[in-house]
Chains A and B, each alone.
Chain A
Amino acid sequence: MDLFEYQGKQFFAKYGMPTSPGKIAFTVDEAVQAAEELGTPVMVKAQVHTGGRGKAGGVKFAATIEDVTEHASNILGLDIKGHIVGRVWIEKASDIAEEYYASFTLDRSAKKHLGMLSKEGGVEIETVAEENPDAIAKIWVDPVDGLSEDQCKAWVKAANLPAEAFDGTVDILLKLYEAYTDGDADLVEINPLILTPEGKVHVLDAKVTLDGNSVFRHENYEQYDETQTRDERETAAHSKGLQYVGLDGSVGVIANGAGLAMSTVDVINQVGGKPANFLDIGGGANADVMAGALEVINNDPNVKAIFINIFGGITRGEEVANGILEAMKRVDIESPIVIRLDGTNADEGRAILEPNLSEKLLMETTMLDAATTAVQLAQ
């Protein structure tokens, strides 16, 4: 789950990290009111789940209330890499002496937590990593032991931050690690972490991704679920508990299992088609789940053909076939469907589907043939 910047800052503030006072605004009026309460100058910052906001004109300095009005009107509704800005964060402007970078994430190779700290902040860390890798001080933290104060100090020392930033940075990093582990985050990133002319270290931006698997122990995370960026199709699928990712092609995909679903998307591309989505309905393929999946796909106006790719393991072929037929009775489907059913009792399953085949319901025995047929039908 990706948090907006302001949610990330509120999340950090709970762990005692210094952030600037600010308010969220959905309209120009609210932005003006927020600026009046905070007192100018303020920053007007687009809240979107993507990077590159500054370049796209989504982050502006406002010296006066008139500036706030102008910038908020421009930024609200702005399209930043396909994300339409629906809210802006109005924050008390900070004076910046230096900009740093700090983050924690899981290093899947080392199977330890990786902390990165750099005195070259304010730019993308990937760029720093490429152009000046020595400017990034890394630390690998054993998840069992956690990050000790001594380790943290040695790490900050290795990053060559100026002496006046040392204590403040150590303090923030220890809290950042606590937020990362206690909050079950996949990623916590502060870029930039700033040093003010007064010598204070301060969080100026926040990027937080939380582990969706941890929601059971964080009741308040439901609020973030509501602010995820999803298109209409993804929202509908999510509400049905389906693993769905929207794509921009014309062949709707339903498969059981994440690997098979990914593979199905790949094969459609391989035979010259464009998949409309990734959809994993999980292990079984009962009528309820299948009907829900068909409904989501059917509501996608771009879909011209549907490819149902099921491998029966524990779930037998005849159960799958009956599930599909039952689901088709419940949903009025416009596009032709191509089914490929394989695995346990595939023959029995196919025998059940056989009498129901038509120009709207076709069957192929291999994944490749089924993909080819579906792609032809979509054209």
Chain B
Amino acid sequence: MSIFVDETTKVIYQGLTGSQGSYYGRLNREYGTQVVAGTHPKKAGTDVDGVPIYANVAEAVEATGATASCIFIPAAGVRGAVMEAAEGGVKFIVAVTEGVPAHDEAIFYNQLKRDYPDVQLLGPNCPGIISPGKCNIGITAGHIAKPGGPVGIVSRSGTLTYQALYELKQKDIGVTTCVGIGGDPVPGTSFIDCLEAFEADPETKAIMMIGEIGGSAEEEAAEYIKDHVTKPVSSYIAGVTAPPGKKMGHAGAIVSGGKGTAKAKMEALEAAGVRVGNNPTEAGELMAEIVATL
């Protein structure tokens, strides 16, 4: 099994007519994702490679029965796009766009929790989600992941996620689902949301968690693992040597006021029984050791 999305998930692409949207929309469809519709307020009635365009998400849902959407809309429009998707009736929203203002993220995160508690938002600023062999929503290269199981991956970083998928594939280890939660200060989906879903998924037997400096999401995840996760977890945290006060590429990757250091996160995870690697390769090797004992 997989978490959040599978081969039956029908997906609307908000921004399918744009350059990024059409590029990744095509790749996702080639992978096997059910790309059923796109939206554009002024291009309703047209199509992109045969995928029909509707004026908005509500109309696209009405026509196709889609339950998920993927947002490739410029940062300024993401707040509107997320709310449009929730109002339109989809239950899973992937916001790939980077550069969304933190205040917008704080508003739509809380608005969703209040008015649409059953809607799961992934991102913004995330690579998306892939359930290998079934569904790929976002910008992950599908062929670097081996379908099946037994590993579930959750990560704050795009390229390190790809690295993890690739290293596991080299070792002939399959993945149930790989979720990129993104590097922004207010991610719609947290480590804990994913850990909970992986714990409940019978096909996921082990979990790989890739974090980075900034915030306290990894520490909170460690607490959760200690109390609620029975499956083995391996981890890697990027940014051990990052200087304080500097944003390391991601808006959320910053050590400020002595908080959010990689060291504190690694210690919290180790205390929760997680096997922590010193680099991505080591974390992959640790996972291979775990898988060998399953």
Task: Tell me how far the C-beta of B273 lies from the nearest C-beta in chain A, rounded to whole angstroms.
Answer: 22
Return chain A residues, CB-CB under 8 Å to B185: 106, 108
- The reply to whether B215 and A108 contact each other, CB–CB distance below 8 Å, is yes
Q: Total number of A-B contacts with CB less than 8 angstroms?
A: 165
Task: Tell me how far the C-beta of A212 lies from the nearest C-beta in chain B, rounded to whole angstroms.
Answer: 8
From A247, A257, A283, A366, residue with most partner B Cβ within 10 Å = A257
Q: Is A167 an interface residue (CB 8 A)?
A: no
What sequence of 0s and 1s flags, for each residue 133-177 of chain B, a beta carbon within 8 Å of any chain A beta carbon?
A: 000000111011000000000011111111100100000000000
- The reply to whether B242 and A213 contact each other, CB–CB distance below 8 Å, is no
23 example contacts (A-B, Cβ-Cβ < 8 A) are as follows: A111-B109, A143-B106, A143-B107, A143-B109, A213-B75, A214-B103, A217-B76, A255-B159, A256-B159, A258-B183, A259-B157, A259-B249, A260-B159, A262-B213, A263-B238, A265-B242, A266-B241, A270-B279, A278-B246, A313-B159, A314-B139, A314-B141, A368-B279
- The reply to whether B144 and A266 contact each other, CB–CB distance below 8 Å, is no
Stretch from B9-17, B61-69, B226-234, B250-258 forming part of the interface with A: B250-258
Query: B residues near A, CB below 8 A?
Result: 27, 75-76, 99-103, 106-107, 109-111, 114, 139-141, 143-144, 155-163, 166, 183, 185-186, 210, 212-213, 215-217, 220, 236, 238-243, 246-253, 257-258, 262, 278-281
What sequence of 0s and 1s flags, for each residue 342-369 of chain A, a beta carbon within 8 Å of any chain B beta carbon?
A: 1110000000000000000000001110
Q: Give CA–CA (A77, B162) in the complex, Å.
A: 47
Residues of A in contact (CB 8 Å), total: 50
- The reply to whether A211 and B103 contact each other, CB–CB distance below 8 Å, is yes
Q: Is A280 an interface residue (CB 8 A)?
A: yes
- The reply to whether B106 and A266 contact each other, CB–CB distance below 8 Å, is no
- The reply to whether A213 and B158 contact each other, CB–CB distance below 8 Å, is no
Q: Is A53 an interface residue (CB 8 A)?
A: no
Task: Tell me how far the C-beta of B160 lies from the nearest C-beta in chain A, rounded to whole angstroms.
Answer: 4
Return chain A residues, CB-CB under 8 Å to B106: 106, 111-113, 143
Task: Tell me how far the C-beta of B116 lies from the nearest C-beta in chain A, rounded to whole angstroms.
Answer: 12
Q: Which residue of chain B has the shortest Cβ distance to A105 in the bound complex?
A: B256
**With A243-B249, A344-B141 in contact, is A143–B157 under 8 Å at CB?**
no
Return chain B residues, CB-CB under 8 Å to A260: 157, 159-160, 163
- The reply to whether A275 and B241 contact each other, CB–CB distance below 8 Å, is yes
The residues in A between 96 and 121 inclusive whose CB is less than 8 angstroms from any CB of B are: 106, 108-109, 111-113
Q: Which residue of chain B has the shortest Cβ distance to A316 in the bound complex?
A: B141
Return chain B residues, CB-CB under 8 Å to A263: 160, 236, 238, 279-280
- The reply to whether A142 and B166 contact each other, CB–CB distance below 8 Å, is no
- The reply to whether A106 and B186 contact each other, CB–CB distance below 8 Å, is yes
Q: Which residue of chain A has the shortest Cβ distance to B186 in the bound complex?
A: A111
- The reply to whether B162 and A368 contact each other, CB–CB distance below 8 Å, is no
Return chain B residues, CB-CB under 8 Å to A313: 139-141, 144, 158-159, 162
Residue in B141, B213, B280 whose CB lies within 8 Å of A367? B280
- The reply to whether B163 and A283 contact each other, CB–CB distance below 8 Å, is no
Return chain B residues, CB-CB under 8 Å to A366: 281
Task: Tell me how far the C-beta of B81 lies from the nearest C-beta in chain A, rounded to whole angstroms.
Answer: 15
Q: Is A155 an interface residue (CB 8 A)?
A: no
- The reply to whether A266 and B239 contact each other, CB–CB distance below 8 Å, is yes
Residue in B99, B100, B101, B248 whose CB lies within 8 Å of A258? B248
Return chain A residues, CB-CB under 8 Å to B162: 257, 311, 313, 343
Q: Which residue of chain B has the shortest Cβ distance to A216 in the bound complex?
A: B76
Q: Give CA–CA (A265, B156) in the complex, Å.
A: 17
Task: Tell me how far the C-beta of A251 lies from the nearest C-beta in chain B, rounded to whole angstroms.
Answer: 12
Q: Give CA–CA (A344, B243) in the complex, Å.
A: 32
**With A184-B101, A243-B249, A245-B243 in contact, is A311–B159 under 8 Å at CB?**
yes
- The reply to whether A344 and B216 contact each other, CB–CB distance below 8 Å, is no
